Amino acid sequence: MALETAKRPAFEKPSRKASQVWKTLSDSLRPKTKSTDDIILQLQKCFLKELGPDQAQKLLKSADCSLFEEKAEFDDFGYKRILIEENEKFNLVLMCWPEGSATSIHDHTGSECIMKCLAGKIRETRYKWPVKKRQSLEKICEEDLKKNEVSGINDEEGLHLIENPSTAERAISLHLYYPPLSECLVFDEYTGKARRIRLKLS
């Protein structure tokens, strides 16, 4: 009697149903941030429940921060800072950049700064701290952040200037400062001279 060979099932592509299950599963593993309030609440948990800044950074990277775009307001004469949340541990600021707008070169006066680009493109130029009086600041590097890209800086890493390099498109970015930032030093690029300013938050 001839031996019957076992029939091998034909390879089948995953069904739509299976991919839907996978999507639901991945969604459930993401932080539950379906609104700006959720994101703020999760950030508060990171800091107030001692989960720590690392978790806050991860959250900011993974969360859908485009939800904050609806809070954007633009001033055609310069960039605008909108205070989203402030408590004893951190402040969260939405920055709205008209075409070609830029900050001065500044420090972060002891705070860590994490920033995420939400729309358009923002350019960060880093400088070394001045070492001598009346000397131009030395540039370290320049980096463009595109939508959803994240970068961070603290005083040990230097000073920086942020700008919207586009002449055709506005930009929006979200900035997390911890401890909260309310003032900073701004520097003259050509003399290195610094003065302290209070941040205007609307």
Asked whether the beta carbons of 194 and 187 are under 8 A apart, the reply is yes
Q: Cα–Cα distance between 34 and 22 in angstroms, integer?
A: 19
Burial label, 98 (beta-carbon count in 10 A; 0-12, 13-18, 19+):
middle
**Helix, strand, coil shares, percent, the chain, to 5:** 25, 35, 45
Say which amino acid occupies 132: K
CA nearest neighbour of 106 among 162, 171, 163: 162
CA nearest neighbour of 166 among 116, 117, 113: 117
Residues 6 or more apart whose Cβ sits within 8 Å of residue 35:
67
Residue positions forming the annotated binding site: 106, 108, 160
Q: Cα–Cα distance between 192 and 131 in angstroms, integer?
A: 9
| Paired residues of 115 in beta bridges | 151, 175
Residue positions forming the annotated binding site for Fe cation: 106, 108, 160
